[in-house]
């Protein structure tokens, strides 16, 4: 893979340049631009993500210290914080969002054969959102509380490989239920959700599209039992029922039968109730699917720790969305690289090594071959930073 290229260039070689240019032309990203093209902008912002740069001044100083390396990294223009700030404000964020979809499709193909803890042939998605707090005076376009702003990342995660297949960046006040209106259910797939997505009219769209869902039931659920299936109580299962909704508004929204599974977790002793429209999978498999939903919580925690999406280089909506989508693209590129080269190291380890070696001209396999896997550090980081300015 390496032909005298920097490690950064080897990572960016996973990005299909022709597809990127199609996205640029679709949104006229380079119209009237003489220097610092959209590709230069993407590479610079991806470098900032991979090297953990904290500000525009930080990016400028780091790249300015090694100007002879810019050409070998693929960046054809001088990078200044003013130019980068203007690009963040003016370049349409949809360019980078659409390009991320290209990378998502490739990553899904590469990780299609991976296991996620449940032996199923169907594609399984987890749906959830996470909130990123912002300063209201700097981000007035994203009000959340009386004195605070925030944005939400609504995410649909393919559990095979933890690939985010659908992302919407909205203000903090936008309800999670609105995402169900934007999703196009994939026939044959399974969607796992928390009870915050309980809206039976919206959930019925999944049934009509021949897709399955697994969701936690709310405590005040009103229903009529049609049939009780036998269960093995030694596994933690309490009941497996076929039900219909009894509240008129809910019954009108979801007129079909549902499956209600009650389960007591042997580890925590907590009793959970699940609803699903899937009557074929064993009841215990349904409970395991919901357990796997926690992968999306781990994904949110991971990207907040290891990508720059909690502090932003610009304050406009366009700048924030641009940074988030390029951060997601950087995550996908490293995931694609890991799979293509069949690397054993975790994403955390790969990112840590890349952060200090991006300028080096060595094969990426060689750079990673002598490093041990420190993924445990990423999972348990209870010690506070020594210096917290």
The model's pTM is: 0.87
Domain span including residue 279? 195-283
Q: Which two tokens stand for residue 242?
A: 């076929």
Owner of token pair 């990508």: 307
Residue 371 is predicted with a pLDDT of: 53
> Does one domain contain both 33 and 88?
yes
Same domain, residue pair 216 and 274:
yes
**68 within a domain of the structure (yes/no):** yes
- The total domain count for the chain is 2
Contact between residue 121 and residue 146 where contact means Cβ atoms under 8 Å apart: no
Residue 266: its pLDDT value, please? 84
Q: Burial, 304: exposed, middle or buried (Cβ in 10 Å; 0-12, 13-18, 19+)?
A: middle
Given a contact cutoff of 8 angstroms between Cβ atoms, the answer to whether 37 and 30 are in contact is yes
Answer with the one of 267, 283, 299 that is the final residue of a domain. Answer: 283
> Taking a C-beta distance cutoff of 8 angstroms, is the pair 309, 327 a contact?
yes
Evaluate whether residue 160 is within a structural domain.
no
Beta bridge partners of 239: 262
Dig out the tokens for 357 from the structure.
């070696």
Same domain, 219 and 277: yes
In a domain, 31, yes or no: yes
**Shared-domain flag, residues 259 and 319:** no
Q: Are residues 279 and 335 in the same domain?
A: no
Same-domain status, 241 and 202: yes
Q: Are residues 11 and 81 in the same domain?
A: yes
Q: What are phi and psi of 155, to 5 degrees?
A: -130, 135
Which of 244, 215, 250, 211 minimizes the C-alpha distance to 227? 244
Torsions phi, psi for 103 (to 5 deg): -70, -35
Which mean pLDDT values do the consecutive 10-residue runs of the chain (389 residues) have?
A: 77 94 94 90 95 92 87 87 94 96 94 86 94 94 92 94 92 92 93 94 95 94 94 92 94 96 89 95 94 92 90 94 96 93 87 89 82 42 40
- Comparing CA positions, the residue from 336, 329, 328, 376 lying closest to residue 352 is 376
Q: Are both 230 and 279 inside the same structural domain?
A: yes
| 239 part of a folded domain | yes
Dist. CA 172–CA 312, nearest whole Å: 16
Instruction: Examine the fold and report which residue of 262, 283, 304 is the final residue of a domain before the chain moves on.
Output: 283
What pLDDT was estimated at residue 3? 57
Q: Give a yes or no: residue 251 inside a domain.
A: yes
- Whether 155 maps to a domain, the answer reads no
Q: Is residue 133 part of a domain?
A: no
91 part of a folded domain: yes
């Amino acid at each position: 893979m390496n032909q005298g290229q920097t490690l950064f260039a080897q990572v960016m070689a996973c990005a299909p340049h022709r597809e990127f240019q199609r996205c640029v032309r679709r949104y006229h990203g380079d119209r009237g631009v003489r220097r610092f093209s959209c590709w230069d902008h993407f590479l610079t912002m991806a470098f900032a993500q991979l090297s953990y740069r904290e500000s525009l001044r930080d990016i400028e100083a780091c790249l300015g210290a090694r100007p002879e390396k810019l050409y070998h990294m693929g960046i054809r223009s001088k990078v200044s914080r003013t130019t980068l700030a203007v690009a963040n404000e003016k370049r349409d964020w949809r360019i980078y969002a659409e390009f991320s979809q290209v990378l998502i499709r490739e990553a899904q193909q590469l990780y299609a054969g991976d296991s996620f803890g449940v032996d199923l042939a169907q594609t399984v998605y987890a749906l959830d959102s996470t909130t990123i707090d912002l300063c209201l005076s700097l981000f007035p376009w994203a009000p959340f509380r009386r004195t605070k702003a925030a944005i939400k990342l609504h995410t649909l995660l393919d559990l095979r490989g933890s690939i985010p297949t659908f992302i919407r960046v909205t203000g903090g006040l936008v309800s999670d239920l609105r995402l169900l209106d934007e999703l196009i259910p994939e026939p044959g797939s399974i969607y796992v959700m928390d009870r915050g997505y309980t809206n039976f009219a919206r959930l019925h769209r999944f049934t009509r599209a021949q897709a399955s869902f697994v969701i936690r039931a709310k405590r005040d659920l009103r229903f009529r039992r049609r049939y009780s299936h036998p269960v093995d109580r030694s596994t933690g299962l309490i009941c497996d029922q076929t039900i219909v909704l009894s509240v008129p508004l809910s019954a009108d929204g979801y007129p079909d039968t549902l499956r209600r599974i009650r389960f007591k977790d042997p580890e925590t002793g907590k009793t959970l109730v699940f609803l699903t429209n899937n009557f074929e999978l064993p009841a215990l498999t349904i409970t395991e699917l919901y357990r796997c939903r926690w992968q999306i919580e781990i994904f949110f925690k991971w990207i907040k720790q290891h990508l720059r999406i909690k502090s932003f280089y610009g304050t406009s909506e366009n700048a924030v969305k641009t940074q988030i989508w390029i951060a997601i693209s950087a995550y996908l590129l490293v995931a694609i690289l890991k799979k293509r080269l069949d690397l054993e190291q975790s994403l955390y380890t790969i990112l840590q090594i890349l952060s200090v070696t991006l300028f080096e001209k060595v094969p990426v396999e060689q750079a990673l071959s002598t490093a041990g896997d420190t993924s445990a550090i990423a999972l348990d980081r209870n010690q506070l930073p020594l210096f917290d300015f």
